[in-house]
Chains A and B, each alone.
Chain A
Amino acid sequence: KQEVTQIPAALSVPEGENLVLNCSFTDSAIYNLQWFRQDPGKGLTSLLLIQSSQREQTSGRLNASLDKSSGRSTLYIAASQPGDSATYLCACSGSARQLTFGSGTQLTVLP
């Protein structure tokens, strides 16, 4: 059974700082890995999807990496802004394309 862990559970940084969010998973037989953003009281917004054959994906100030062999993914946010404050969730897609989620990292970017 896939288990996904995200560390830290909460993170507070000053505006402008570069930061890294971590995600680890126990079963390396994944089909893809997605990073989501969730604002309070809202649904999930997909940020990046990394296919199992890829090592990284980039979108604007976001860069996500994937190392299947070690069971790790990171989300790098450059030049953080207060608008980046949200909960960030990673999720692994298994053989039936179902997502197993971590518990998320709650990010606060201070002005």
Chain B
Amino acid sequence: EAGVAQSPRYKIIEKRQSVAFWCNPISGHATLYWYQQILGQGPKLLIQFQNNGVVDDSQLPKDRFSAERLKGVDSTLKIQPAKLEDSAVYLCASSFLGGGSDNEQFFGPGTRLTVL
């Protein structure tokens, strides 16, 4: 079974530029998550999708971050314009269902963003 795919793996941009990340979850997984992991910290949830609907985006900085999952499969996360403090690893995860206690999440390799 293929895992969660993410691209690109690395991205370096200058502040005020825009950037987009792509994620393809495990086939059949209805729930998709984007996390931000700043160096030395644990991942922090940015947004959760259930199929193509948003379950929670309360921690997404909506003035500069946006995400979509139009067909309920793959997803893109965009930052426009980027700030220095956005330098982090952006992790995508998926799980089979949002409900039920056995909701194991599987993570992709992440995209490491450096903002100069």
Least distance between A73 CB and chain B CB atoms (Å): 14
B residues 35-63 touching A (CB-CB < 8 Å): 40-45, 48, 55-56
- Would you call B31 an interface residue if the criterion is a C-beta within 8 Å of the partner chain's C-beta atoms? yes
* B42 close to A103 (CB less than 8 A): yes
Q: Which residues does chain A contribute within 8 Å of B56, judged by CB atoms?
A: 96, 98
* A46 close to B105 (CB less than 8 A): yes
Interface size of A in residues (CB-CB distance below 8 Å): 27
Q: What size tier do the contact residues of chain B reach? A: 20 to 34
Given A32-B103, A42-B110, A96-B55, 20 further pairs, Cβ under 8 A = A34-B104, A34-B105, A43-B91, A43-B107, A46-B104, A46-B105, A52-B101, A89-B42, A93-B101, A96-B56, A96-B98, A97-B95, A97-B98, A97-B99, A98-B56, A99-B33, A101-B43, A102-B42, A103-B42, A104-B42
Ordered by A's residue number, 29 sampled pairs between the chains whose C-beta atoms are within 8 Å are A31-B103, A32-B102, A34-B104, A41-B112, A42-B109, A43-B4, A43-B6, A43-B91, A43-B110, A44-B93, A46-B104, A46-B105, A46-B106, A46-B107, A51-B102, A91-B43, A93-B103, A96-B56, A97-B99, A97-B103, A98-B33, A98-B45, A98-B56, A99-B43, A100-B45, A101-B44, A103-B40, A103-B41, A104-B42
